[in-house]
Structures are given as C-alpha cells and as structure tokens.
Amino acid sequence: MASRTRYVPELLSALAFSSVSVHLLWQRRAAETDRRHYSARLSILGELAARLRAGETVPDAEVARLRRLAENAAIETHDGAEIGWKEVIFGRKESGAEREGKEELERRDLEQAQSELLQRGADASKS
C-alpha cells in the first residue's frame, strides 16, 4: 500500500507546476493581444488627431468611421470566464449555432475540394 502512495507528492507538485505554467502562458498571450489592440487604437486615433491639428477638414462620416474602427480594435478577445476542471478534462459542449457554423464551413471546404478535383481531372483529360 505504501508503494502506491509514495509518488503522490511528486504527482501533485508536477500537476501544480504544469497548471501554473499553462495559466501564466494564457495570461501572457492575453496581455500581448490587449497591447496590440490598444496600440492599434492609439494609432488610429493619433492619426486622426494629427490630421485635425494640421487643420485638415475631415468629414464627419470619416470621423465616425475611424471612431468605430478604433472601438472595434479595442474589443476584448477573451471574456475572462472561469474554466472549470470538468471542461478541461471532458471538453466544452458546443452550442447549436457553433455546431451549425462548423458544419457549414466543413460543407464549403468539401465542395471546394470537390470542384478542385473535378477541375484537375478535366485538365488532365485534356492533355
């Protein structure tokens, strides 16, 4: 019995280290994505501010378009939702819309591959 439990502390520490490393990697990627979004937003708004300071007349429609573009550049890509161990181990269940979207993409890819194969077959038969 003692031989089975001998490696439990090492197993738990390995699990803890791997969990922390994956979490830190996710945090690093999320921070990099946020930095890119804010950099894009600053660039768009900075260019608009420079044009306005130079006295250039910028139509209201273009100002509105650039503001929307800057707002879209700052949209968060991660929602900060907690992921439980059940999801980690067994996976997340797809919603109906996600499943339909994937099926539509797969159908398009299949149709595209079929049309390419038919095109190649027709080209090969000509030569």
Handedness of CA 39, 43, 49, 54 (dihedral sign): positive
pLDDT value, residue 1: 53
pLDDT value, residue 63: 85
pLDDT tens digit string along 55-102?
A: 988 888 888 888 888 777 656 555 556 777 777 667 777 778 888 888
| 74 in Cβ contact with 38 (< 8 Å) | yes
| 33 in Cβ contact with 77 (< 8 Å) | yes
| 45 in Cβ contact with 20 (< 8 Å) | no
Q: What is the pTM of this model?
A: 0.46
CA distances from residue 97 to 42, 70, 94 in whole angstroms, order as listed: 34, 28, 8
pLDDT tens digit string along 15-68?
A: 888 988 988 898 899 888 888 888 888 888 888 889 889 998 888 888 888 888
